[in-house]
Amino acid sequence: MLVEHSFVTTLDAPEALEIITQMFYALGFTKAMPSAGTNLPAEACREFIFPDAPPARTGTGPLRVLLSLDRGRVMMAASASARQQSAFRYQSGTFTRKQKALLEEKLLLTAGAVESILTGESMASIQNRWNALDMRWQAEKAARRRRGLLVGLAILALAIFFVIRVAALIHH
């Protein structure tokens, strides 16, 4: 999943990059080396990755943000993909419809936060929206886990019922 966003700012590039970098650090991102292939100088490009936690916690591969500034134009791309843990390695997975909607909302929030922080929105407000979305993501994961447990218990109960029923028929 990919979200691209661009806008114009009146701030100087170093000042804008510093504000955006501080915002991403506050949200839990870490800075990464920009991907090869950008036409802009290294001081005008930044790449951030979230989270450092394993995909088992979040259900996603790393949320990556590529940010560049060129003569007042801020361009950013945010992406994430589904990942799941197998016995020995992480592999591609899929999202449920609710998870996909929440991830899309997180990518849009990330893109909007970059513009919002440069236009004067407080970091506390952005952090509150980010945390609320994380809480919804965790609630969806917990609900999915509960549904899986209930289905598993129902199948186990049905299997026990059939074993008892077959045993009763054999003894008669």
Q: What is the CATH number of the domain that holds 118?
A: 3.30.530
| pLDDT at 2 (0 to 100) | 83
pLDDT of residue 163 exceeding 80: yes
What are 94-103's pLDDT values in tens digits? 667 777 788 8
Q: Residue 105: inside a domain, yes or no?
A: yes
pLDDT of residue 158 exceeding 90: yes
Q: How many domains does the chain have?
A: 1
Q: Residue 166: inside a domain, yes or no?
A: no
pLDDT of residue 43 exceeding 60: yes
| pLDDT at 153 (0 to 100) | 94
| pLDDT at 161 (0 to 100) | 94
Its domain, for residue 76, covers 2-146
Q: Residue 163: inside a domain, yes or no?
A: no
Quick one: three-class SS letters along the chain? CEEEEEEECCCCHHHHHHHHHHHHHHHCCEEECCCCCCCCCHHHEEEEEECCCCHHHHCECCEEEEEEEECCEEEEEEECCEEEECCCCEEECCCCHHHHHHHHHHHHHHHHHHHHHHCCCCHHHHHHHHHHHHHHHHHHHHHHHHHHHHHHHHHHHHHHHHHHHHHHHHHC
Q: pLDDT band for position 93 (50/70/90)?
A: low
